[in-house]
Amino acid sequence: MNYPIITTLIAAVAIGGCGSTTTVDDYRPTTEPIDIGVGEKVAILGRRDAGRHETDRSFINCLGGKLNNSNFQVMPEQEFVDALYPWFEPRTAPRHLKRLKKFMEEPVVQEKIRQEKIRYLVWLDGEVESHGSSGMMSCGMAPTGAGCFGYTSWDKSAMFEAIVWDLVDLTEEARIRVDSEGTSYVIGIVAPIPLLTPVESQACEGMGKHLRSYFAQKEE
């Protein structure tokens, strides 16, 4: 085993191989800030198709944390689902504005939204995928002990879209798509050394920054 070559590979990957490239595309009907009153909330809801498709919960939680740094209240996903049960369960939750407007015709839904002071709903859809693996690593016993040698790499991509719905005016206020991609590695020199590209955290950072910039606190 050529240790200098592998050591050089680790250094090269650590310096430049595990970064991610992130792009954010957004659409808004106006450049004016989205008004939100004191005490009003922004709820977050990820797509759930009864187990067939689920938006990554770690991304939803990450985005909620990014928005919590702002000057308005964020209602966590599970709290929102519990408060509006059963209207926003996986089998019934609206995926488009037309369906949401139908829900809002129900007096019980209107009253609960009013009681909870939920002004906006951020509807999230997306996932992280891994593909294009290459390289080779072998692990086993040797006269000097057990170990792993070689390397493997794979590409990762994250794509998430958020739609901001106004639950009072029943309008779409913004639509954001974020794409992040990069390459992850595991290099073996006795012990496996993972070097993972942060595509999900970078996508969360990009989307959170844009969403925060949209909202403006109304003066009382």
Query: What is the DSSP code (8-state) at residue 86?
Result: T
Min mean pLDDT across 24-38, 70-84, 86-100, 145-159 is at 145-159
Residues of the chain with pLDDT > 70, as a percent, come to: 71
Q: pLDDT digit string (tens) for 72-130? A: 889 999 999 999 998 888 778 888 899 999 989 999 999 999 999 999 999 999 887 87
Q: What is the CATH number of the domain that holds 151?
A: 3.30.160
Residues of the chain with pLDDT > 90, as a percent, come to: 33
pTM for the full predicted model: 0.77
**Most confident listed range (12-16, 170-174, 192-196, 199-203):** 170-174
Show the domain range for 206.
3-217
pLDDT band for position 140 (cuts 50, 70, 90): low
What is 36-83 written as a DSSP string? Answer: E-TT-EEEEEE-B-TTS-B--HHHHHHHHHHHTTSSSEEE-HHHHHHH
Yes or no: say if 34 and 214 are a contact pair by the CB < 8 Å rule: yes
Q: Which residue has the higher pLDDT, 193 or 7?
A: 193
**One-letter amino acid of 13:** V
Contacts of 187 by beta carbon, 8 Å cutoff, 6+ apart? 6, 9, 10, 13, 150, 151, 193, 195
Return the pLDDT at 44: 93
Contacts of 91 by beta carbon, 8 Å cutoff, 6+ apart? 50
- Residue 162's beta-bridge partner residues? 124, 176
Domain total in the chain: 1
